[in-house]
Amino acid sequence: MGALTLGDVAAALAFVVALGGSIGAVVKALKKALQGLFDEQTENINKRLDKTDANLAKLDMDNCKNYIVQALSAAERGTKLTKEELIRLSEEYDHYTKNGGNSYIVEWHNRLNKEGKLK
């Protein structure tokens, strides 16, 4: 068995440092590639979620408008709305107007309110 020399230790240390650097470079390249794939998939998912959110918002506004139109039509025909129906109409109307609802609904609601049909 031979004695270890300072050159042997230096060579072994250089090998370990080079191996560590190589592993680090491979990990960094792999991480960058995986991040690119992840970003691409996340972008696709976000686009689909944005489309779904837009569809849900439209559906929400359409359902809200349907309820308001039915309630306003009933009031205009002379049907006395119950206290609970008036509360719900108020909630739907507030939600609808806060989210950019059509002006004809606002005008119709205001007219029926002035006529005392929404009390």
Domain assignment present for residue 119? The answer is no
Q: Confirm whether pTM is higher than 0.95.
A: no
Structural domain includes residue 36: yes
Looking at per-residue confidence, does 63 or 10 come out higher?
63
In a domain, 47, yes or no: yes
Distance, C-alpha 118 to centroid of its chain: 36
Residue with the bigger pLDDT between 89 and 11: it is 89
Query: Phi/psi at 80 (nearest 5 deg)?
Result: -80, 120
> Is 19 within a domain?
yes
**Range picked from 4-8, 17-21, 69-73, 97-101 for highest mean pLDDT:** 69-73
Question: Taking Cα atoms as reference points, which of 100, 80, 119 lies closest to residue 109?
Answer: 119
The position carrying tokens 């107007």 is 97
Q: Mean pLDDT across the chain, nearest whole number? A: 91
In a domain, 34, yes or no: yes
Instruction: Flag whether 1 is in a domain.
Output: no
Percent of the chain topping pLDDT 70? 98
Burial zone of 71 (CB within 10 Å; 0-12 exposed, 13-18 middle, 19+ buried): buried
Domain extent, residue 95, equals 6-114
Q: How many domains does the chain have?
A: 1
